[in-house]
Structure 1
Amino acid sequence: MFEIRSFEGAMMRGFSVDRRGVYIVGGALDLLPDDPSQSAIVEQPGRWAAQDLTDLQRSLFPQGLSRHGWQYLFLRKDAILGSDGFAYSAHEWMIELVFENYRLAHFPKRPSRFISYFAWQTIEQARAFKGPQQHIYELDGDGFVADQVWLTLGVQGIASYYNAEKYWSGAGSAKPRWEIVLPAPVQVTRLVEP
């Protein structure tokens, strides 16, 4: 049996690991109009130029993207060489694209992960995610809770859609790993653990 936890649009407080060293107490995590990493756009002559992709991004997300959004839409992911000698596309960014397209089609009122920041419900969960030299902050914002376990593609396309349905509906898996999805702007209220 799956537990449903949907707090859509509710004010939420969570604990987030600052993996990039950008959180400032009293500040806000907002949308960024430009790519903070300044990732080079790979052009395909005869198909698209860099400006074509920039224009598309601006039409889809006119206010900008979160750091997560910039990473998954613009960071280059080269093919991975499999043990069979064939090149395979890195699937990490495909998860985000499949889930975003499913959200647009079936849960358009839910905020895109590309404009969101993420937090855990407990300090213990944040500690388990924290790496060396990273700090935990308390964040406040409007958001909803989703089970991060669903963020994966299946070995069949239909399983990927199933996972996306469960994630966006707020259903819990057998062993859920709940995350708080907070669309920008998000307030950084305090440093919890240096």
Structure 2
Amino acid sequence: MEPPFYHVDRRGDLSVGDTLDINWDLTIYRADETHTVDSQYEGQVREDFQEGLSAHGSRYFHPFYEIDHNREYYLQYAYKRIPTPVSGSECQYLHVKNGINEWLAERTRRERFPKKHSRLQSYFAWPSGGVIDTFGDDNVPVYKVVPSDFELHDMSLLDSQKGIQEYWKGTLTAQPKLEIVMEGPVEVVDIC
């Protein structure tokens, strides 16, 4: 499988020639809102991910460390949304869903597959434009992108601990939901 791949940008502010790369912009983008993460774990994430985070990593780093520090509680209530403290807006917390899955995926990667790309430092795309039809939001812009490096994974495997191990191994199910896990810099080459 070769690039270009198809990337969805919820902000809608990318242009041809732009690049996506890790940084320390700890902003969560949601529809027409932006929120700056104000986490007590910022020092720890800066130590663990010295080069920075992707936009996905900015969304999920607080839930990752919150679960790590309060593992028993969150494993007992695995389907709760993880409150993430934010500043610069009317609300004090955003409730980030799928935090337990992202925690388990990153924890498994660190322990068993350390050479694989961290999801907290990656950007995501689909191998073809047609797959985006399943994304469920016609109002988000789609871009053709070319990453510096990438891995192909089946995101349908992210729902269980056994599945997450298979995800990192590169296993594909009979009807995979393919995602491209891209390492930056990722160049925007066209707007669809």
Matches within 5 A, 1:29-178: 29-36=20-27, 37-41=35-39, 50=40, 53-74=41-62, 89-90=80-81, 92-129=98-135, 131-141=137-147, 142-153=149-160, 160=161, 162-178=162-178
Question: Distance in 2 between the 1:87 and 1:29 partners?
Answer: 31
Tell which structure's C-alpha radius of gyration is larger: 1
Q: How far apart are residue 87 of structure 1 and its match? A: 10
Equivalenced residues, count: 158
TM-score under structure 2 length normalisation: 0.74
Q: How far has the Cα of 1:34 moved from its partner?
A: 3.0
Q: Aligned-pair distance for 1:32?
A: 2.2
> Using a 3 Å threshold, how does the CA distance of structure 1 residues 174 and 87 change in structure 2: closer, same or farther?
closer
Q: Indicate conservation of the 8 Å contact 1:39/1:75, yes or no.
A: no
Equivalent residue, structure 2, for 1:46: none
Matching residue of 2:8: 17
Q: Percent identity?
A: 31
Structure 1: gaps (5+ residues): 1-6, 42-49, 78-85, 154-159
Asked if 1 retains the 8 angstrom alpha-carbon contact of 2:78 and 2:100, the reply is: no
Higher relative contact order (CA 8 A, sep 6+): 1
Counterpart residue type for residue 188 of structure 2: V
Report the RMSD for the aligned CA atoms in angstroms: 2.3
Distance 1:87 1:104 in 2: 20
TM-score by length of 1: 0.74
The structure whose residues are more often strand, as a share, is: 2
CA distance in 2, matches of 1:88, 1:129: 21
Contact between 1:140 and 1:187, CA under 8 Å: does it hold in 2? Answer: yes
State the alpha-carbon separation in 1 of the partners of residues 129 and 79 from structure 2.
37
State the alpha-carbon separation in 1 of the partners of residues 46 and 78 from structure 2. 31
Deviates more, 1:94-103 or 1:67-76: 67-76
Q: 1:130 to 1:27 in 2, by over 3 A?
A: farther
Deviation at 1:74, TM superposition (A): 2.9
